[in-house]
Each structure stands twice: as C-alpha cells, then as structure tokens.
C-alpha cells in the first residue's frame, strides 16, 4: 500500500486527465495503458528486484550486486540526488495545496465567487509572497517527518493503509457530484472519446513519459521499498497491483474534474493552473455550502496524494542516511528535513522576492523544475535499467522473480527483452525529445 501511495501523486490528478483529453482521449488512454503495463511496470519490477536482492538503499544496493564494478554505485547516488531535488519542489507545491485546503474550509476561496481574474490574481500573489508559502511547506515537511519517525510498519504502512482508501472515497464522491452536473457528458467525451487524429508523436511521447515516471521509477524510491518486500511476495503481482491502482486513480481524477469544468463552460487546463485557478472557479459556481464542501474535499484529496508521495521520497533519503552514516532514524530524518526545508524555501522564494536568483536564465524554481522533469529521473532510470539488464547476474534476477523457484515466471522472456532493449530505447527517446523541445 505504501508503494501505491508513492506512485499516486499530484501528476495523476492534475496532469494525466488534461493530457489524456488533449491528445485524443480514448486513443491516448489505450497507448498509455500499453506503456504503463509494458514499460513502466517493468522498470518498477527491476527496481524492486534490485532492492529485495540487496536489502540495501540505492548506493549500497548497486555496489553489493556488482562487487567488481564499484562505479555503478554512483547510479544509486544519482537516485538520492534526484529524490532530494524532487522532494524540495514537492514540499513547495504541497504547501500550496495545504494552504488552499485551509482557505477552502474557512470559506476564503468562496468569497472570490466566479471572478477568474480575482482567483488567478490571488494564486499569483500567494505563490510569490515571502511568508505564507514557506510556513505551509514547513508544516507539510514536519507532518511528513512525523510519519517517517514512526517507522515503516507503524508509520508509513499504517498511514498509507488509512490515507489511500480515504483518497479513493473522496475521489468517488467528487466523481458522483461531477457526473450529476448539467453538461457533464462533454467532459466525459473529452476524456474518453477516441480521436486518433489528435494522437500525434508528441502525444505518444507524453503517454510514455507519464507512464514511466508516474510510477516513481528513476529516483531510487522503489529500490528502498523493494528492500522491505518480504521474500515470499510475488513481485510481478505486486507491480501489477501498483500499476493498476495508479492508472485507476488517474482515470477517476479525470472523471472527477473535467465534467465539472465543462459544465461551467471553462476551458480545460493542466498543472497548477487547473488546481489553483480553474477548479476554485468550478467549486464556487456550485454556490453556498455545497461549493465550500466540495472545494475542501478536493484540496484534502490533493493534500493526501502529495503526502503519500512525499513520505516515500523522505523515507528513501532517511534510510540512505541511516545506512551511510550509521546513525539513528530520528537523527537522519531531522537532518534531511532541515536540509529539504532550507532548499524548498529557496525554491519558493525564487518565485517572488528572490526572482533574481537564476540559473542559466531560469528562476531557481524553474531550474529545479527542469532538473526534476527533464534530466534527473530519465538519467537515473536509464542507468538503473542498464545495470539491471546487463550487469546484475541473471541468476539473481530469476531467483527474485520466481522466489527461488517457487513461482513460474512464464513472462520472463518477454520481460527480459523489454528490460534489455525496449525500456532503454524508450528512456533515450523521452530524454532526447524533452531536451530538444
């Protein structure tokens, strides 16, 4: 359940539904499903195998599985660096979400009515201000730390077992409300009607990128979680369950959001613009207590998705520091959280008063976003899949996938072909295309 929480994040809710509709609805969904189960799941299984076989965090996992080629441990280090930068940006955006949840509960968002300019102006003023975003990202970071400090069983797994069902229930409630609005069928048509004329090469690449990185591959998280998986668990079934859950949440998010957007006569959007500008307008159009309640439900849903993902990122970093410095979990978690809050504060402030802080012409926020979306995860995933396919002993891989001969891995020849040839090629294509565009 914790691994499902890691995979289900903000991208499932605010990115997938938009790009699904933009690139042909049902046509995009079909391609996405093929990539999610054909490549994304394979990459996840690879990380699980590395983690469970080594019972270590990324750096030591790579080193222990290739004792004569110590240089591979730097792929593990790259995963840690990737985690660190992604979590800093995640804390910033999660802080925004938590703040909006309080604004929804107190009725502050409702006072803006359906004035799109006022709602947009409020988001701009809030995200560029010096104090409130930093306060809320700090609160969110400390909340994440509390879960980590409670340990894997009593903290991460226990919280995930509660939050993930709550997330699904909230999504279903929003879906029911969205589908009962007048004109909801236009939103469903946007999401699901297959239009292959819109499925351009750009759309196929968007499906491939979403499928791979929605599952939290390429940052070492699944290696850490793999090290916790019992030896008796079937890694194929575990990966299938996580992938199916991730896809289901993404599709439900689209059903919850876009019928309501079209019902209000608004244009579809993705990313922060959807969550913090378009949807407050949608909820305010419902009027009165109804609008306040559904606004609060949505931002609570978004906060839960952010929390389950940030927990996995912080756990990967904390576990790595425990193993590297041989320190206590409490100390390592506090060190990582303090460093993350410091970096996240810089990232947040670069939206406003520190906008002069630039790297290569980009604000520091945009620079970190570029690292997280274009460079670090694809490079880490590429190094990981090369190691798994060409360096790690094949006997070790077979042992883990068959649980030392107990299970029949009839899929293994296809799995081996994908992990050796298709997955590396897909990662190279996504990486080069992202850079060129």
Question: How far lies 396's CA from each of 354, 389, 409, 424, 433, in Å?
Answer: 50, 11, 14, 20, 34
Predicted confidence (pLDDT) at residue 178 exceeds the cutoff of 70: yes
Q: What share of the chain in percent tops pLDDT 70?
A: 98
Predicted confidence (pLDDT) at residue 7 exceeds the cutoff of 90: no
Predicted confidence (pLDDT) at residue 116 exceeds the cutoff of 80: no
Predicted confidence (pLDDT) at residue 271 exceeds the cutoff of 70: no
Give the mean model confidence (pLDDT) for residues 312-320. Answer: 95
Q: Is the dihedral of CA 288, 291, 295, 297 positive or negative?
A: positive
Q: What is the pLDDT of residue 1?
A: 63
Highest averaged pLDDT of the listed ranges 3-12, 85-94, 105-114:
85-94
Burial of 343-382, coded b for 16+ CB within 10 Å and e otherwise, reads bbbbbbbbbbebeeeeeeeebbbbbbbbbbbbebbbbbbb
Q: What is the pLDDT of residue 267?
A: 72
Q: Of residues 208 and 338, which shows the higher confidence score?
A: 338
Which pTM does this prediction carry?
A: 0.93
Give the mean model confidence (pLDDT) for residues 396-414. Answer: 92
Tell me the per-residue pLDDT of 141-175, one tens digit each, with 9 for 90 and over: 999 999 999 887 788 888 888 888 888 888 898 88
With beta carbons less than 8 A apart as the criterion, state whether 39 and 426 touch: yes
Give the mean model confidence (pLDDT) for residues 76-91. Answer: 95
Tell me the per-residue pLDDT of 230-264, one tens digit each, with 9 for 90 and over: 999 999 999 999 999 999 998 998 888 888 888 87
Predicted confidence (pLDDT) at residue 14 exceeds the cutoff of 80: no
Closest to 280 in 3D by CA, of 390, 410, 126, 411? 126
Closest to 314 in 3D by CA, of 290, 291, 332, 289? 332
Q: What is the pLDDT of residue 281?
A: 82
Q: What is the pLDDT of residue 236?
A: 95
Q: What is the pLDDT of residue 418?
A: 95
CA distance linking residue 215 with residue 44, whole number of Å: 7
Q: What is the pLDDT of residue 58?
A: 94
Confidence of residue 2 (pLDDT cuts 50, 70, 90): low
Give the mean model confidence (pLDDT) for residues 190-208. Answer: 87
Mapping DSSP to helix (H, G, I), strand (E, B) and coil, where does residue 149 land?
A: helix
Give the mean model confidence (pLDDT) for residues 265-282. Answer: 75
Q: What is the pLDDT of residue 414?
A: 95
Q: What is the pLDDT of residue 269?
A: 63
Q: What is the pLDDT of residue 430?
A: 84
Q: What is the pLDDT of residue 270?
A: 63
CA distance linking residue 411 with residue 234, whole number of Å: 13
Predicted confidence (pLDDT) at residue 49 exceeds the cutoff of 70: yes
Predicted confidence (pLDDT) at residue 8 exceeds the cutoff of 80: no
Q: Of residues 62 and 275, which shows the higher confidence score?
A: 62
Give the mean model confidence (pLDDT) for residues 389-399. Answer: 94
CA distance linking residue 29 with residue 35, whole number of Å: 10
CA distance linking residue 309 with residue 306, whole number of Å: 5
Structure tokens at 68: 């004569």
Domains and CATH numbers, the chain: 2-436 (1.10.4160.10)
Give the mean pLDDT of the chain: 89
Q: What is the pLDDT of residue 37?
A: 94
Phi-psi region of 208 (alpha: psi -120 to 50; beta: other; left: phi over 0): alpha
């Amino acid at each position: 359940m914790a691994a499902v929480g890691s995979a289900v994040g903000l991208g499932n809710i605010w990115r997938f539904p938009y790009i699904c509709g933009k690139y042909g609805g049902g046509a995009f969904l079909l391609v996405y499903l093929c990539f999610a189960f054909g490549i994304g799941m394979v990459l996840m299984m690879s990380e699980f195998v590395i983690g469970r076989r080594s019972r270590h965090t990324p750096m030591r996992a790579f080193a222990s599985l290739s004792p004569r080629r110590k240089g591979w441990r730097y792929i593990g280090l790259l995963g840690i660096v990737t985690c660190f930068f992604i979590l800093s940006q995640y804390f910033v955006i999660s802080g925004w979400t938590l703040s909006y949840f309080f604004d929804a509960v107190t009725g502050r968002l409702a006072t803006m009515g359906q004035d799109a300019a006022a709602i947009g102006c409020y988001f701009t003023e809030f995200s560029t201000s010096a104090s409130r975003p930093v306060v809320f990202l700090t609160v969110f970071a400390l909340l994440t730390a509390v879960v980590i400090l409670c340990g894997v069983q009593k903290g991460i797994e226990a919280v995930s077992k509660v939050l993930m069902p709550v997330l699904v229930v909230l999504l279903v409630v929003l879906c029911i409300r969205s589908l009962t609005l007048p004109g909801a069928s236009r939103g469903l048509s946007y999401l699901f009607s297959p239009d292959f004329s819109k499925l351009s090469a750009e759309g196929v690449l968007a499906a491939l990128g979403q499928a791979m990185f929605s599952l939290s591959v390429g940052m070492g998280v699944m290696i850490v979680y793999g090290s916790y998986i019992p030896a008796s668990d079937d890694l194929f079934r575990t990966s299938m369950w996580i992938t199916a859950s991730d896809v289901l949440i993404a599709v439900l998010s689209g059903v919850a959001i876009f019928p309501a957007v079209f019902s209000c006569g608004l244009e579809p959007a993705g990313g922060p613009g959807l969550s913090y500008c378009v949807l407050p307008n949608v909820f305010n159009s419902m009027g009165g207590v109804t609008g306040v309640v559904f606004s609060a439900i949505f931002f609570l849903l978004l906060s839960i998705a952010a929390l389950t993902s940030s927990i996995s990122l912080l756990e990967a970093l904390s576990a790595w520091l425990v193993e590297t410095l041989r320190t206590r979990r409490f100390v390592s978690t506090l060190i990582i959280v303090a460093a993350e809050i410091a970096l996240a504060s810089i990232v947040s402030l670069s939206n406003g008063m520190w906008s002069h802080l630039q790297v290569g012409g980009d604000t520091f926020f945009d620079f970190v976003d570029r690292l997280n979306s274009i460079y670090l995860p694809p490079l880490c995933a590429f190094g990981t899949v090369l190691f798994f396919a060409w360096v790690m002993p094949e006997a070790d891989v077979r042992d883990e996938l068959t649980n030392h001969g107990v299970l029949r891995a009839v899929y293994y020849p296809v799995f081996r072909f994908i992990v050796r040839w298709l997955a590396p090629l897909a990662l190279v294509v996504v990486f080069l295309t992202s850079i060129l565009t």
